[in-house]
A and B are shown apart, each in its own frame.
Chain A
Amino acid sequence: SKSVSPHALCSFFFLSSWLPQTVPFRGSHWQTSLLELRASLPTRAQPKKKKKVDVKREQAQKDRMKKKIKKLEKAAPEMIPIEDFIPPLKYSESNRVRSLPPLSFEETERRVLLMKKWCLFKQKQDKAEQKAIQTLVEAQQEALKELRLESEELYQAAIRRDEGLFPFERDGPNYTPPLPGYDPPEGKCVDITKVYTQ
Protein backbone atom coordinates (compact mmCIF):
# COMPACT_ATOMS: atom_id res chain seq x y z
CA SER A 1 0.00 0.00 0.00
CA LYS A 2 1.16 3.41 -0.72
CA SER A 3 -0.17 4.95 2.34
CA VAL A 4 3.15 5.32 4.06
CA SER A 5 3.31 8.45 5.95
CA PRO A 6 5.74 10.78 4.14
CA HIS A 7 7.01 12.41 7.28
CA ALA A 8 7.89 9.09 8.67
CA LEU A 9 10.04 8.30 5.65
CA CYS A 10 11.81 11.61 5.70
CA SER A 11 12.58 11.46 9.36
CA PHE A 12 13.75 7.88 9.09
CA PHE A 13 16.33 8.78 6.49
CA PHE A 14 17.64 11.77 8.33
CA LEU A 15 17.81 9.98 11.60
CA SER A 16 19.72 7.07 10.31
CA SER A 17 22.46 8.79 8.46
CA TRP A 18 24.28 5.72 7.63
CA LEU A 19 23.04 5.80 3.98
CA PRO A 20 25.85 7.34 1.95
CA GLN A 21 23.80 8.06 -1.22
CA THR A 22 21.77 11.16 -1.54
CA VAL A 23 18.06 10.83 -1.52
CA PRO A 24 16.27 12.44 -4.43
CA PHE A 25 13.65 14.82 -3.24
CA ARG A 26 10.14 14.34 -4.40
CA GLY A 27 8.51 16.98 -6.55
CA SER A 28 5.73 17.72 -4.20
CA HIS A 29 4.11 16.16 -1.26
CA TRP A 30 1.44 14.66 -3.57
CA GLN A 31 4.09 12.47 -5.25
CA THR A 32 4.01 9.37 -3.11
CA SER A 33 6.58 7.22 -4.92
CA LEU A 34 10.13 8.46 -5.42
CA LEU A 35 10.75 6.76 -8.72
CA GLU A 36 7.64 7.87 -10.40
CA LEU A 37 7.75 10.70 -12.81
CA ARG A 38 5.19 13.34 -13.17
CA ALA A 39 2.68 10.90 -14.52
CA SER A 40 0.02 11.31 -11.97
CA LEU A 41 0.41 14.98 -11.28
CA PRO A 42 -2.82 16.51 -10.19
CA THR A 43 -4.95 17.85 -13.06
CA ARG A 44 -7.91 18.41 -10.90
CA ALA A 45 -7.11 21.81 -9.69
CA GLN A 46 -10.49 22.96 -10.88
CA PRO A 47 -13.48 20.65 -10.68
CA LYS A 48 -14.52 19.54 -14.19
CA LYS A 49 -17.75 21.49 -14.79
CA LYS A 50 -17.05 22.25 -18.48
CA LYS A 51 -19.11 19.31 -19.73
CA LYS A 52 -22.45 20.54 -18.37
CA VAL A 53 -21.86 24.09 -19.50
CA ASP A 54 -21.01 22.88 -23.00
CA VAL A 55 -24.09 20.79 -23.22
CA LYS A 56 -26.27 23.61 -21.98
CA ARG A 57 -24.63 26.13 -24.26
CA GLU A 58 -25.02 23.90 -27.27
CA GLN A 59 -28.64 23.27 -26.42
CA ALA A 60 -29.27 27.01 -26.11
CA GLN A 61 -27.59 27.60 -29.46
CA LYS A 62 -29.70 24.97 -31.16
CA ASP A 63 -32.89 26.45 -29.74
CA ARG A 64 -31.96 29.90 -30.97
CA MET A 65 -31.30 28.53 -34.46
CA LYS A 66 -34.62 26.73 -34.47
CA LYS A 67 -36.44 29.87 -33.41
CA LYS A 68 -34.81 31.80 -36.24
CA ILE A 69 -35.79 29.10 -38.73
CA LYS A 70 -39.37 29.14 -37.49
CA LYS A 71 -39.54 32.91 -37.83
CA LEU A 72 -38.29 32.71 -41.40
CA GLU A 73 -40.78 30.01 -42.24
CA LYS A 74 -43.68 31.91 -40.72
CA ALA A 75 -42.94 34.95 -42.83
CA ALA A 76 -45.06 34.91 -45.98
CA PRO A 77 -43.30 33.35 -48.98
CA GLU A 78 -42.25 35.71 -51.69
CA MET A 79 -44.74 36.06 -54.48
CA ILE A 80 -43.82 34.47 -57.79
CA PRO A 81 -44.00 37.21 -60.44
CA ILE A 82 -46.45 36.53 -63.23
CA GLU A 83 -44.52 37.14 -66.39
CA ASP A 84 -47.62 37.95 -68.43
CA PHE A 85 -48.68 40.85 -66.24
CA ILE A 86 -45.37 42.67 -66.33
CA PRO A 87 -44.99 44.32 -69.75
CA PRO A 88 -41.34 44.60 -70.72
CA LEU A 89 -39.99 48.13 -70.57
CA LYS A 90 -39.07 48.30 -74.21
CA TYR A 91 -42.73 48.32 -75.21
CA SER A 92 -43.53 51.55 -73.41
CA GLU A 93 -41.31 53.66 -75.64
CA SER A 94 -43.04 56.39 -77.53
CA ASN A 95 -41.98 55.31 -81.00
CA ARG A 96 -44.07 52.22 -80.53
CA VAL A 97 -47.36 54.04 -80.47
CA ARG A 98 -49.42 53.35 -83.56
CA SER A 99 -50.47 56.32 -85.60
CA LEU A 100 -53.92 55.87 -87.10
CA PRO A 101 -56.49 58.37 -88.29
CA PRO A 102 -59.21 59.09 -85.71
CA LEU A 103 -62.57 57.29 -86.03
CA SER A 104 -65.35 59.03 -87.85
CA PHE A 105 -68.80 59.54 -86.41
CA GLU A 106 -70.39 56.97 -88.74
CA GLU A 107 -67.82 54.40 -87.74
CA THR A 108 -68.53 54.79 -84.03
CA GLU A 109 -72.27 54.63 -84.71
CA ARG A 110 -71.86 51.47 -86.75
CA ARG A 111 -69.82 49.89 -83.99
CA VAL A 112 -72.34 50.65 -81.29
CA LEU A 113 -75.23 49.30 -83.35
CA LEU A 114 -73.28 46.16 -84.18
CA MET A 115 -72.57 45.56 -80.50
CA LYS A 116 -76.28 45.78 -79.73
CA LYS A 117 -77.14 43.33 -82.49
CA TRP A 118 -74.53 40.97 -81.19
CA CYS A 119 -75.97 41.18 -77.70
CA LEU A 120 -79.38 40.13 -78.99
CA PHE A 121 -77.92 37.35 -81.11
CA LYS A 122 -76.06 35.87 -78.18
CA GLN A 123 -79.11 36.08 -75.94
CA LYS A 124 -81.24 34.15 -78.44
CA GLN A 125 -78.51 31.55 -78.81
CA ASP A 126 -78.24 31.08 -75.10
CA LYS A 127 -82.01 30.74 -74.65
CA ALA A 128 -82.16 28.13 -77.38
CA GLU A 129 -79.37 26.13 -75.76
CA GLN A 130 -81.05 26.22 -72.38
CA LYS A 131 -84.31 25.04 -73.88
CA ALA A 132 -82.59 22.18 -75.65
CA ILE A 133 -80.90 21.08 -72.44
CA GLN A 134 -84.21 21.22 -70.62
CA THR A 135 -85.93 18.98 -73.17
CA LEU A 136 -83.02 16.59 -72.88
CA VAL A 137 -83.41 16.36 -69.14
CA GLU A 138 -87.17 15.95 -69.36
CA ALA A 139 -86.87 13.14 -71.90
CA GLN A 140 -84.43 11.33 -69.65
CA GLN A 141 -86.66 11.73 -66.62
CA GLU A 142 -89.58 10.30 -68.53
CA ALA A 143 -87.51 7.34 -69.67
CA LEU A 144 -86.36 6.64 -66.12
CA LYS A 145 -89.91 6.83 -64.82
CA GLU A 146 -91.09 4.28 -67.37
CA LEU A 147 -88.15 2.06 -66.55
CA ARG A 148 -89.03 2.17 -62.89
CA LEU A 149 -92.54 1.06 -63.67
CA GLU A 150 -91.10 -1.89 -65.45
CA SER A 151 -88.55 -3.21 -63.04
CA GLU A 152 -86.85 -1.84 -59.97
CA GLU A 153 -83.54 -3.64 -60.48
CA LEU A 154 -83.11 -2.32 -64.00
CA TYR A 155 -83.89 1.13 -62.70
CA GLN A 156 -81.29 0.83 -59.96
CA ALA A 157 -78.74 -0.37 -62.49
CA ALA A 158 -79.58 2.62 -64.69
CA ILE A 159 -79.19 5.32 -62.05
CA ARG A 160 -75.88 3.96 -60.85
CA ARG A 161 -72.94 6.27 -61.56
CA ASP A 162 -70.78 5.35 -64.53
CA GLU A 163 -67.20 5.41 -63.27
CA GLY A 164 -65.53 5.07 -66.63
CA LEU A 165 -67.21 8.12 -68.15
CA PHE A 166 -65.05 10.87 -66.63
CA PRO A 167 -62.40 12.12 -67.32
CA PHE A 168 -63.71 12.44 -70.84
CA GLU A 169 -61.21 13.75 -73.38
CA ARG A 170 -61.78 14.68 -76.97
CA ASP A 171 -59.89 16.68 -79.56
CA GLY A 172 -61.99 19.58 -80.72
CA PRO A 173 -62.99 20.22 -84.36
CA ASN A 174 -60.54 22.11 -86.58
CA TYR A 175 -61.14 24.34 -89.55
CA THR A 176 -60.21 21.73 -92.17
CA PRO A 177 -60.28 17.94 -91.94
CA PRO A 178 -56.94 16.15 -91.55
CA LEU A 179 -54.95 15.80 -94.76
CA PRO A 180 -54.22 12.13 -95.47
CA GLY A 181 -50.51 11.43 -95.94
CA TYR A 182 -49.33 14.83 -94.72
CA ASP A 183 -45.73 14.89 -93.54
CA PRO A 184 -45.20 17.71 -91.05
CA PRO A 185 -41.78 19.46 -91.20
CA GLU A 186 -39.28 18.41 -88.55
CA GLY A 187 -38.07 20.76 -85.88
CA LYS A 188 -37.07 21.08 -82.25
CA CYS A 189 -38.78 23.17 -79.65
CA VAL A 190 -36.62 24.62 -76.85
CA ASP A 191 -38.56 25.64 -73.74
CA ILE A 192 -37.16 28.84 -72.18
CA THR A 193 -39.81 29.54 -69.55
CA LYS A 194 -38.38 30.68 -66.24
CA VAL A 195 -39.24 28.41 -63.33
CA TYR A 196 -39.46 29.98 -59.91
CA THR A 197 -39.16 28.05 -56.64
CA GLN A 198 -40.37 29.28 -53.29
Chain B
Amino acid sequence: MAAPVAPPMRSPQGTMGARRKDGGAHRAVHCGLRGSIMAAPTQRTAGWGRWLCTAAAPRPWRLFGAMCLLRLPRITQPLEKEEEEMAALMGQIELEKSHYSDHEIRKLQEEEQLRRRKESTYDDDEAPGKTVIMAQDLEDKWEQKLLQFEAAPRITDADKNNNRTSLNRKLDSNLMLLVKQKIGNQELWLLPQVEWQPGETLRSTAERAMATFLGDHIQAKILGNAPYGIYKYKFPRAIRTEDNMGAKVFFFKAFLQSSDLSQAELKEDYLWVTKDELGDYLKSEYLKKVNRFLLDL
Protein backbone atom coordinates (compact mmCIF):
# COMPACT_ATOMS: atom_id res chain seq x y z
CA MET B 1 0.00 0.00 0.00
CA ALA B 2 1.18 3.52 -0.58
CA ALA B 3 2.18 5.71 2.31
CA PRO B 4 -0.80 6.87 4.32
CA VAL B 5 -2.30 9.99 2.82
CA ALA B 6 -4.02 12.58 4.94
CA PRO B 7 -7.75 11.88 4.95
CA PRO B 8 -10.20 14.41 3.50
CA MET B 9 -10.78 17.13 6.05
CA ARG B 10 -14.30 17.97 5.03
CA SER B 11 -16.65 15.29 6.24
CA PRO B 12 -20.07 14.69 4.76
CA GLN B 13 -22.94 15.39 7.03
CA GLY B 14 -24.72 12.51 8.61
CA THR B 15 -22.25 9.73 7.90
CA MET B 16 -19.28 9.26 10.12
CA GLY B 17 -16.15 11.05 9.09
CA ALA B 18 -13.31 9.51 7.21
CA ARG B 19 -11.85 6.84 9.36
CA ARG B 20 -8.42 5.47 8.80
CA LYS B 21 -8.09 1.86 7.98
CA ASP B 22 -6.56 0.65 11.18
CA GLY B 23 -6.76 -3.05 11.30
CA GLY B 24 -4.98 -3.17 14.61
CA ALA B 25 -5.58 -0.11 16.69
CA HIS B 26 -9.22 0.88 16.62
CA ARG B 27 -9.07 4.56 17.11
CA ALA B 28 -12.44 6.18 16.93
CA VAL B 29 -11.62 9.49 15.34
CA HIS B 30 -14.97 11.13 15.40
CA CYS B 31 -15.08 13.98 13.02
CA GLY B 32 -16.91 16.29 15.25
CA LEU B 33 -13.54 17.97 14.72
CA ARG B 34 -14.61 19.09 11.30
CA GLY B 35 -11.93 20.63 9.24
CA SER B 36 -9.65 20.98 12.22
CA ILE B 37 -5.96 20.21 12.08
CA MET B 38 -6.17 18.37 15.35
CA ALA B 39 -7.30 15.32 13.44
CA ALA B 40 -3.94 15.03 11.76
CA PRO B 41 -1.67 13.95 14.61
CA THR B 42 -4.09 11.29 15.77
CA GLN B 43 -4.33 9.99 12.25
CA ARG B 44 -0.62 9.80 11.92
CA THR B 45 -0.20 7.88 15.13
CA ALA B 46 -2.91 5.52 14.03
CA GLY B 47 -0.95 5.01 10.89
CA TRP B 48 2.20 4.25 12.82
CA GLY B 49 0.26 1.87 14.95
CA ARG B 50 -0.91 0.12 11.88
CA TRP B 51 2.54 -0.19 10.44
CA LEU B 52 3.84 -1.69 13.58
CA CYS B 53 1.03 -4.21 14.00
CA THR B 54 0.42 -6.07 10.77
CA ALA B 55 1.81 -5.81 7.27
CA ALA B 56 -1.38 -6.21 5.19
CA ALA B 57 -4.45 -4.77 6.93
CA PRO B 58 -7.71 -5.98 5.39
CA ARG B 59 -9.73 -3.14 3.91
CA PRO B 60 -12.95 -2.78 5.83
CA TRP B 61 -14.85 -1.06 3.06
CA ARG B 62 -16.69 -3.04 0.44
CA LEU B 63 -16.60 -1.52 -2.98
CA PHE B 64 -19.56 -1.18 -5.32
CA GLY B 65 -19.70 0.18 -8.82
CA ALA B 66 -22.92 1.94 -9.84
CA MET B 67 -23.95 3.16 -13.26
CA CYS B 68 -25.96 6.31 -13.88
CA LEU B 69 -27.41 5.73 -17.33
CA LEU B 70 -28.72 8.92 -18.94
CA ARG B 71 -31.07 9.19 -21.87
CA LEU B 72 -30.23 12.47 -23.49
CA PRO B 73 -33.00 14.92 -24.51
CA ARG B 74 -34.54 14.53 -27.96
CA ILE B 75 -36.23 17.91 -28.31
CA THR B 76 -35.29 21.42 -27.32
CA GLN B 77 -36.53 22.95 -24.11
CA PRO B 78 -39.19 25.66 -24.35
CA LEU B 79 -37.84 29.20 -24.42
CA GLU B 80 -38.06 31.43 -21.39
CA LYS B 81 -39.93 34.72 -21.55
CA GLU B 82 -36.82 36.87 -21.96
CA GLU B 83 -35.49 34.52 -24.62
CA GLU B 84 -38.68 34.79 -26.63
CA GLU B 85 -38.76 38.57 -26.43
CA MET B 86 -35.15 38.75 -27.47
CA ALA B 87 -35.70 36.40 -30.40
CA ALA B 88 -38.56 38.61 -31.64
CA LEU B 89 -36.43 41.74 -31.29
CA MET B 90 -33.56 40.16 -33.20
CA GLY B 91 -35.89 39.20 -36.02
CA GLN B 92 -37.24 42.73 -36.22
CA ILE B 93 -33.79 44.30 -36.31
CA GLU B 94 -32.72 41.89 -39.03
CA LEU B 95 -35.73 42.81 -41.11
CA GLU B 96 -35.02 46.51 -40.75
CA LYS B 97 -31.42 46.15 -41.79
CA SER B 98 -32.11 43.95 -44.81
CA HIS B 99 -32.75 44.73 -48.47
CA TYR B 100 -35.53 43.43 -50.65
CA SER B 101 -35.05 39.96 -52.07
CA ASP B 102 -35.93 38.91 -55.64
CA HIS B 103 -39.19 37.35 -54.55
CA GLU B 104 -40.25 40.50 -52.73
CA ILE B 105 -39.42 42.72 -55.67
CA ARG B 106 -41.44 40.49 -57.96
CA LYS B 107 -44.34 40.65 -55.54
CA LEU B 108 -44.16 44.45 -55.35
CA GLN B 109 -44.08 44.79 -59.12
CA GLU B 110 -47.06 42.52 -59.56
CA GLU B 111 -49.03 44.42 -56.96
CA GLU B 112 -48.17 47.62 -58.79
CA GLN B 113 -49.41 46.12 -62.07
CA LEU B 114 -52.65 44.96 -60.52
CA ARG B 115 -53.27 48.37 -59.05
CA ARG B 116 -52.62 50.09 -62.35
CA ARG B 117 -54.93 47.73 -64.14
CA LYS B 118 -57.71 48.36 -61.69
CA GLU B 119 -57.39 52.14 -61.72
CA SER B 120 -57.13 52.67 -65.44
CA THR B 121 -58.80 50.31 -67.88
CA TYR B 122 -55.89 48.54 -69.51
CA ASP B 123 -56.47 45.92 -72.14
CA ASP B 124 -55.63 42.45 -71.05
CA ASP B 125 -53.07 41.85 -73.75
CA GLU B 126 -50.26 42.18 -71.26
CA ALA B 127 -51.56 39.47 -69.01
CA PRO B 128 -51.89 36.27 -71.01
CA GLY B 129 -48.67 34.55 -71.90
CA LYS B 130 -46.70 36.58 -69.40
CA THR B 131 -47.54 36.15 -65.74
CA VAL B 132 -49.69 33.13 -65.21
CA ILE B 133 -48.43 32.49 -61.70
CA MET B 134 -48.04 35.46 -59.39
CA ALA B 135 -45.81 35.67 -56.39
CA GLN B 136 -48.77 35.86 -54.07
CA ASP B 137 -50.13 32.60 -55.48
CA LEU B 138 -46.84 30.92 -54.80
CA GLU B 139 -46.91 32.10 -51.23
CA ASP B 140 -50.43 30.77 -50.74
CA LYS B 141 -49.41 27.44 -52.17
CA TRP B 142 -46.48 27.17 -49.78
CA GLU B 143 -48.69 28.08 -46.86
CA GLN B 144 -51.13 25.33 -47.75
CA LYS B 145 -48.37 22.78 -47.99
CA LEU B 146 -47.10 23.73 -44.54
CA LEU B 147 -50.53 23.39 -42.98
CA GLN B 148 -50.94 19.94 -44.45
CA PHE B 149 -47.83 18.64 -42.70
CA GLU B 150 -48.30 17.40 -39.15
CA ALA B 151 -45.27 17.03 -36.96
CA ALA B 152 -45.02 14.56 -34.07
CA PRO B 153 -46.29 16.04 -30.82
CA ARG B 154 -43.77 17.34 -28.31
CA ILE B 155 -45.79 16.12 -25.34
CA THR B 156 -46.18 12.41 -25.85
CA ASP B 157 -48.76 9.95 -24.54
CA ALA B 158 -46.36 8.73 -21.92
CA ASP B 159 -46.22 12.28 -20.60
CA LYS B 160 -49.95 12.46 -20.25
CA ASN B 161 -50.23 9.11 -18.49
CA ASN B 162 -47.14 9.76 -16.39
CA ASN B 163 -45.86 6.33 -17.27
CA ARG B 164 -42.50 6.41 -15.60
CA THR B 165 -41.24 3.17 -17.07
CA SER B 166 -41.29 4.42 -20.64
CA LEU B 167 -38.43 6.18 -22.36
CA ASN B 168 -40.71 8.45 -24.36
CA ARG B 169 -41.56 10.66 -21.45
CA LYS B 170 -40.13 14.14 -20.97
CA LEU B 171 -38.31 14.31 -24.26
CA ASP B 172 -36.68 17.62 -23.41
CA SER B 173 -34.76 16.53 -20.31
CA ASN B 174 -32.35 13.85 -19.16
CA LEU B 175 -33.83 10.59 -17.90
CA MET B 176 -31.89 8.22 -15.69
CA LEU B 177 -32.42 4.62 -14.74
CA LEU B 178 -33.45 3.59 -11.21
CA VAL B 179 -33.85 -0.01 -10.12
CA LYS B 180 -35.18 -1.59 -6.96
CA GLN B 181 -32.46 -3.53 -5.22
CA LYS B 182 -32.25 -5.50 -2.03
CA ILE B 183 -29.57 -4.20 0.31
CA GLY B 184 -29.38 -6.06 3.57
CA ASN B 185 -33.01 -6.46 4.55
CA GLN B 186 -34.47 -3.52 2.72
CA GLU B 187 -35.68 -3.06 -0.80
CA LEU B 188 -34.47 0.31 -2.00
CA TRP B 189 -34.64 2.35 -5.17
CA LEU B 190 -31.06 2.85 -6.31
CA LEU B 191 -28.95 3.46 -9.34
CA PRO B 192 -28.01 -0.02 -10.54
CA GLN B 193 -25.01 -1.22 -8.58
CA VAL B 194 -23.02 -4.40 -8.24
CA GLU B 195 -20.21 -5.42 -5.92
CA TRP B 196 -16.66 -5.07 -7.11
CA GLN B 197 -14.71 -8.26 -7.60
CA PRO B 198 -10.92 -8.31 -7.41
CA GLY B 199 -9.28 -8.41 -10.79
CA GLU B 200 -11.49 -5.89 -12.56
CA THR B 201 -11.49 -2.12 -12.72
CA LEU B 202 -14.36 -0.12 -11.28
CA ARG B 203 -15.49 0.89 -14.74
CA SER B 204 -15.98 -2.75 -15.72
CA THR B 205 -17.93 -3.23 -12.48
CA ALA B 206 -20.25 -0.47 -13.56
CA GLU B 207 -20.61 -2.01 -17.01
CA ARG B 208 -21.44 -5.32 -15.39
CA ALA B 209 -24.06 -3.60 -13.28
CA MET B 210 -25.65 -2.17 -16.40
CA ALA B 211 -25.54 -5.52 -18.14
CA THR B 212 -27.18 -7.36 -15.23
CA PHE B 213 -30.14 -5.04 -15.24
CA LEU B 214 -30.53 -4.28 -18.90
CA GLY B 215 -28.95 -7.16 -20.77
CA ASP B 216 -25.83 -7.35 -22.85
CA HIS B 217 -26.81 -5.51 -25.98
CA ILE B 218 -26.99 -2.01 -24.63
CA GLN B 219 -25.16 0.66 -26.56
CA ALA B 220 -24.00 3.15 -23.99
CA LYS B 221 -21.08 5.52 -24.09
CA ILE B 222 -19.35 5.60 -20.70
CA LEU B 223 -17.77 8.95 -20.07
CA GLY B 224 -14.27 8.07 -19.06
CA ASN B 225 -12.54 5.75 -16.64
CA ALA B 226 -12.89 7.90 -13.55
CA PRO B 227 -15.84 7.82 -11.13
CA TYR B 228 -18.07 10.88 -10.93
CA GLY B 229 -19.20 10.61 -7.34
CA ILE B 230 -19.04 8.49 -4.25
CA TYR B 231 -21.46 7.49 -1.53
CA LYS B 232 -20.04 6.06 1.65
CA TYR B 233 -22.10 4.44 4.33
CA LYS B 234 -21.52 2.28 7.36
CA PHE B 235 -23.36 -0.89 8.01
CA PRO B 236 -25.70 -0.92 11.00
CA ARG B 237 -24.02 -2.02 14.21
CA ALA B 238 -25.50 -5.48 14.02
CA ILE B 239 -23.48 -6.58 11.00
CA ARG B 240 -20.51 -4.31 11.46
CA THR B 241 -17.26 -6.14 12.08
CA GLU B 242 -13.65 -5.14 12.03
CA ASP B 243 -13.24 -6.26 8.47
CA ASN B 244 -16.58 -5.12 7.24
CA MET B 245 -17.38 -1.63 8.32
CA GLY B 246 -19.24 -0.21 5.45
CA ALA B 247 -19.46 0.24 1.77
CA LYS B 248 -18.32 2.77 -0.80
CA VAL B 249 -20.40 3.14 -3.92
CA PHE B 250 -18.63 4.73 -6.88
CA PHE B 251 -20.86 6.26 -9.54
CA PHE B 252 -20.12 6.25 -13.25
CA LYS B 253 -21.97 8.14 -15.96
CA ALA B 254 -22.99 6.88 -19.35
CA PHE B 255 -25.08 8.15 -22.24
CA LEU B 256 -27.63 5.83 -23.78
CA GLN B 257 -27.05 5.54 -27.52
CA SER B 258 -29.70 3.14 -28.74
CA SER B 259 -33.20 4.45 -28.46
CA ASP B 260 -35.23 1.28 -28.07
CA LEU B 261 -34.71 -1.25 -25.32
CA SER B 262 -37.39 -3.73 -26.33
CA GLN B 263 -35.38 -6.85 -25.67
CA ALA B 264 -33.49 -5.44 -22.76
CA GLU B 265 -35.49 -5.27 -19.54
CA LEU B 266 -34.90 -8.20 -17.26
CA LYS B 267 -36.15 -6.89 -13.98
CA GLU B 268 -39.61 -5.46 -13.59
CA ASP B 269 -38.86 -2.82 -11.04
CA TYR B 270 -37.20 -0.11 -13.03
CA LEU B 271 -37.95 3.54 -13.63
CA TRP B 272 -36.73 6.31 -15.86
CA VAL B 273 -36.85 9.57 -13.92
CA THR B 274 -35.65 13.12 -14.30
CA LYS B 275 -33.46 14.88 -11.78
CA ASP B 276 -36.38 16.58 -10.06
CA GLU B 277 -38.25 13.36 -9.59
CA LEU B 278 -35.29 11.63 -8.00
CA GLY B 279 -36.34 13.02 -4.65
CA ASP B 280 -39.47 10.86 -4.70
CA TYR B 281 -37.46 7.69 -4.68
CA LEU B 282 -34.02 8.12 -3.24
CA LYS B 283 -33.02 8.52 0.36
CA SER B 284 -31.83 11.99 1.36
CA GLU B 285 -28.13 11.27 1.89
CA TYR B 286 -27.86 9.21 -1.28
CA LEU B 287 -29.80 11.85 -3.16
CA LYS B 288 -27.49 14.60 -2.02
CA LYS B 289 -24.46 12.79 -3.34
CA VAL B 290 -26.11 11.90 -6.61
CA ASN B 291 -27.34 15.42 -7.21
CA ARG B 292 -23.81 16.75 -7.10
CA PHE B 293 -22.70 15.08 -10.26
CA LEU B 294 -25.87 15.56 -12.26
CA LEU B 295 -26.09 18.67 -14.37
CA ASP B 296 -29.36 20.48 -14.14
CA LEU B 297 -31.30 20.15 -17.35
List the interface of chain A (C-beta within 8 A of B): 91, 95-98, 100, 111, 114, 117-118, 121, 128, 132, 135-136, 138-140, 142-152, 154, 157-162, 165, 168, 170, 173-180
Contact = CB atoms under 8 A, between A and B. Distances in A.
A177 B293 contact: no
24 contacts: A95-B105, A98-B98, A111-B89, A114-B89, A118-B86, A121-B82, A136-B292, A139-B292, A139-B293, A146-B248, A146-B250, A149-B5, A150-B63, A154-B63, A154-B201, A157-B202, A158-B202, A162-B222, A170-B255, A175-B75, A175-B76, A175-B151, A176-B154, A180-B152
A54 B149 CA distance: 81
B73 A173 contact: yes
Given A136-B293, A177-B75, A177-B171, A97 B202 contact: no
B59 A159 contact: no
Given A97-B99, A150-B63, A174-B74, A158 B226 contact: yes
Given A98-B99, A177-B75, A144 B226 contact: yes
Contacts of B255: 170
Nearest to B1: A152
- Interface size grouping (class) on chain B: 35 or more
Contacts of A158: 201-203, 225-227
B106 interface: no
Interface string B48-78: 0000000000010101000000001111100
- Give 5 closest A-B pairs by Cβ, nearest first: A143-B230, A139-B292, A96-B99, A176-B151, A157-B201
A176 B75 contact: yes
Interface string B76-98: 10001011011001000001101
Interface in B254-297: 255, 289, 292-293, 295-296
The secondary structure that dominates the B interface is loop
B232 A146 contact: yes
B79 to A, nearest CB: 11
Contact of A151 (B59, B80, B96): B59
B224 interface: yes
B225 A143 contact: no
B193 to A, nearest CB: 14
Contacts of A177: 74-75, 152-154, 156, 171
A178 B152 contact: yes
Given A136-B293, A139-B292, A173-B72, 13 more contacts: A98-B99, A114-B89, A118-B86, A132-B295, A132-B296, A135-B292, A143-B226, A144-B226, A145-B8, A154-B63, A161-B225, A175-B76, A177-B74
Nearest to B99: A96
B172 interface: yes
A146 B230 contact: yes
